[in-house]
Amino acid sequence: MNSQDTRKIRLVMLLRNAGITDTSVLAAMERVPRDFFVPAAMADQSYDDIALPIGRGQTISQPLVVATMTEALKLDDRCKVLEVGTGSGYQSCVLAHLCRRVYTIERHKSLLIEALKMFDELKLHNITAIAGDGMKGWPEQAPFDRIIVTAAAQGDPPSALLDQLKIGGIMVVPVATNEHQVLRRYKKEGEDTFAVKDLMGVRFVPLLPNLAAPSEGSDGDINRKLA
């Protein structure tokens, strides 16, 4: 067993001790090589439970946040999932091991190009990705069994995303209220009714509209569980 394998196992044990109980989620986290998705200069931190910058002011999420969001979706191999915010593609790959198909949207074209390379390298063929405005969802592929948003909505999730969720479906999304953010799960019980549960305090980059300009973004944003 090499050092990366040892660090990966240590991370999975940390997630279990932190309360992640879904063995399929833990197995998916173990299968996806997080070191593939981080800058080479930070490879030695790839299995630490921290967020890391990936450029364009974006991050690869803290593993505990990834695991918590994934577990909250209650995925099975029949689920059709929409992900808003592809980023590095790490979360997409974790989802791909747990559901039928992932549709993922990224507003930074340069990040999407790199994520597509990762999907090919890892031979994950059940991910479809586009560059676009994630706040509008993906109407051509709706409705979705599950929706995951990896940037913070202001006040409430975009109505387009709520509309594109199937009745009985689940959406997990960070929501910003004043200066605080909370990770929130919405279960759609009727056309306009939702059961809502707060999961944990988080800090994500803001959910923004439209495609990003090539010059947009600066390093230093974080996406982690709050202490």
The pLDDT-based confidence of 217 (bands split at 50, 70, 90) is low
Q: What is the DSSP string of 89-127?
A: SHHHHHHHTTSSEEEEEES-HHHHHHHHHHHHHTT--SE
Domains of the chain, start order: 3-225 (3.40.50.150)
Residue 142, Cβ density class (10 Å: 0-12 exposed, 13-18 middle, ≥19 buried): middle
pLDDT > 60? residue 48? yes
Among 58, 32, 28, 59, which residue's Cα sits nearest to residue 47? 32
pLDDT of residue 226: 37
Copy the structure tokens of residue 149.
């948003």
Q: What is the pLDDT of residues 75-88, one digit of tens each?
A: 999 999 999 999 99
pLDDT > 80? residue 224? no
Interatomic CA distance for residues 63 and 198, integer angstroms: 19
pLDDT > 50? residue 221? no
The pLDDT-based confidence of 1 (bands split at 50, 70, 90) is low
Stretch 182-210: mean pLDDT: 95
Interatomic CA distance for residues 171 and 124, integer angstroms: 23
Among 199, 209, 206, 198, which residue's Cα sits nearest to residue 222? 206
Residue type, 56: R
Copy the structure tokens of residue 99.
């559901």
pLDDT > 80? residue 100? yes
Which residues carry out catalysis?
61
CA atoms within 13 A on the CB side of 194: 20
Stretch 46-69: mean pLDDT: 92
Stretch 212-221: mean pLDDT: 65
Copy the structure tokens of residue 191.
């056309």
pLDDT > 90? residue 225? no
pTM, 2 dp: 0.92
Interatomic CA distance for residues 115 and 131, integer angstroms: 11
With a pLDDT cut of 90, the percent of the chain lying above it is 81
pLDDT > 70? residue 116? yes
DSSP 8-class letter at 191: T
* Contact (Cβ atoms closer than 8 angstroms) between residue 37 and residue 54: yes
Strand partners, 60: 52
pLDDT > 60? residue 184? yes
Interatomic CA distance for residues 169 and 147, integer angstroms: 8
Residue type, 162: L
